[in-house]
Amino acid sequence: MKLDTLLYGLAQPYSRPRPFPFTRIRTWAWCRRSLLQPDDELSRVERGGKGGSCDVMRGGEYEMEPQATWQLLSHGHLTYHHILMEGEESATSCHPTINVGSETVMVDGVPFPPQTTTTSKPLSLLGHGITDIEIHFLQIKFTAIGVYLEPDIAAHLQQWKGKPGTTLAEDDDFFQGVISAPVEKLIRVVVIKEIKGSQYGVQLESAVRDRLAAEDKYEEEEEEALEKLVEFFQSKYFKKDSVITFHFPAASPTAEIVFATEGKEDSKIAVENANVAEMIKRWYLGGTRGVSPSTIACLADGLSAVLSK
């Protein structure tokens, strides 16, 4: 079922309308032509906007009565709204892992282990987030992202020691320091909304090519490396919960990409062109130009915490 074939707003509260505070209300929001039909109970909620139209039912959090927040969440093709009461965490709340033994982190329902090991050193989950887009003011979530780094990276970022995450998130020089630090890095990308691998491949190619061209580094070797990447993803189908892993070794300017999906053997490709590998890192870790602002903000918080230890 595609988004543009869905019909109209339909509310399914857990119970009949009752005075504030609400325990919880969940509303399935089916949208067409950018209109959602309000229902009696939702009309009682102070949303700071017009009726029940899509322009007020967008992603993010809103002040609600009493001290609640309104957030749009997406699960596959079914998009619903639910009220988060004060003290309840949103799906993309940032929980950087700086202590061994921390619990699994959930990012929009996707579990990320607090640590992972690819060679000899454990890597810690220092940032996470999502990629998404708004269509007719509805937030569509595509992937959940986890960034794993050696905690030793702090030794290479000392000039930013003591700065808060909000400041670091806006500092592209800081993230260039993260990218260039000679430590092992791993980026785990988990599919939330199904897409064709060819679509992802074209998006990756475009992002990397534009960055290479901006620095006058797009030569024949880089073009060939990107063509191999596009070909690698061409035959893949990104089912929900499929995983794309980008591994960047500490002692090499290369990268390895692994695609894993249920029912099939893992597929791998080595990116041996250093410039292309660098720009893939920048796509995910590139500060204000990164593909996922929520991941950048969370990673900034995580690294700020590591630097403060």
**CATH classification of the domain holding 270:** 3.50.70.10
Higher pLDDT, residue 82 or 103: 103
Structure tokens at 276: 């292309």
Residue 209 domain-assigned (yes or no):
yes
pLDDT at 206 (0 to 100): 96
Q: In this predicted model, what pLDDT tens digit does every residue of 33-68 receive, in sequence order?
A: 222 333 333 332 333 333 333 233 333 333 333 333
Q: What is the dihedral of CA 133, 139, 141, 145, to 10 degrees?
A: 80
CA atoms within 13 A on the CB side of 288: 7
Among candidate residues 19, 50, 84, the one where a domain is terminated: 84
Is the omega angle on the peptide bond into residue 21 within 30 degrees of 0, that is, cis? yes
Q: Mean pLDDT of all residues in the chain?
A: 75
| CA distances for 264 relative to 216, 228, 235, 240, angstroms | 39, 21, 13, 14
Residue 95 domain-assigned (yes or no):
no
pLDDT of residue 120 exceeding 90: no
Same domain, 185 and 74: no
Residue 71 domain-assigned (yes or no):
yes
Query: How deeply is 2 buried, as exposed, middle or buried, from its count of CB atoms within 10 A (0-12, 13-18, 19+)?
Result: exposed
Q: In this predicted model, what pLDDT tens digit does every residue of 284-300 receive, in sequence order?
A: 999 999 999 999 999 99
pLDDT (mean) for 219-235: 96
Higher pLDDT, residue 282 or 102: 282
pLDDT of residue 133 exceeding 80: yes
Q: How far is CA 188 from the centre of its chain?
A: 10
Mean pLDDT is lowest, of 30-39, 59-68, 97-106, 250-259, for 30-39
* pTM for the whole structure: 0.71
Quick one: what percent of the chain has pLDDT higher than 90?
61
Residue 99 domain-assigned (yes or no):
no
How far is Cα 1 from Cα 9, in angstroms, rounded to an integer? 16
CA atoms within 13 A on the CB side of 208: 25
Same domain, 80 and 118: no
Same domain, 41 and 122: no
Same domain, 41 and 187: no
Same domain, 39 and 69: yes
Same domain, 156 and 236: yes
Same domain, 68 and 201: no
Residue 92 domain-assigned (yes or no):
no
Q: In this predicted model, what pLDDT tens digit does every residue of 194-208 receive, in sequence order?
A: 999 999 999 999 999
Structure tokens at 195: 């897409």
**For residue 53, how many other CB atoms are within 10 A of its CB?**
16
Residue 91 domain-assigned (yes or no):
no
pLDDT at 177 (0 to 100): 97
- Per the structure, the count of domains in the chain is 2
Angle at 309 between CA 297 and CA 150, to 5 degrees: 65
Question: Which residue range is the domain that position 9 belongs to?
Answer: 3-84
Higher pLDDT, residue 3 or 302: 302
Same domain, 20 and 128: no
Same domain, 156 and 302: yes
Same domain, 49 and 174: no
Residue 89 domain-assigned (yes or no):
no
Same domain, 69 and 119: no
pLDDT of residue 9 exceeding 60: no
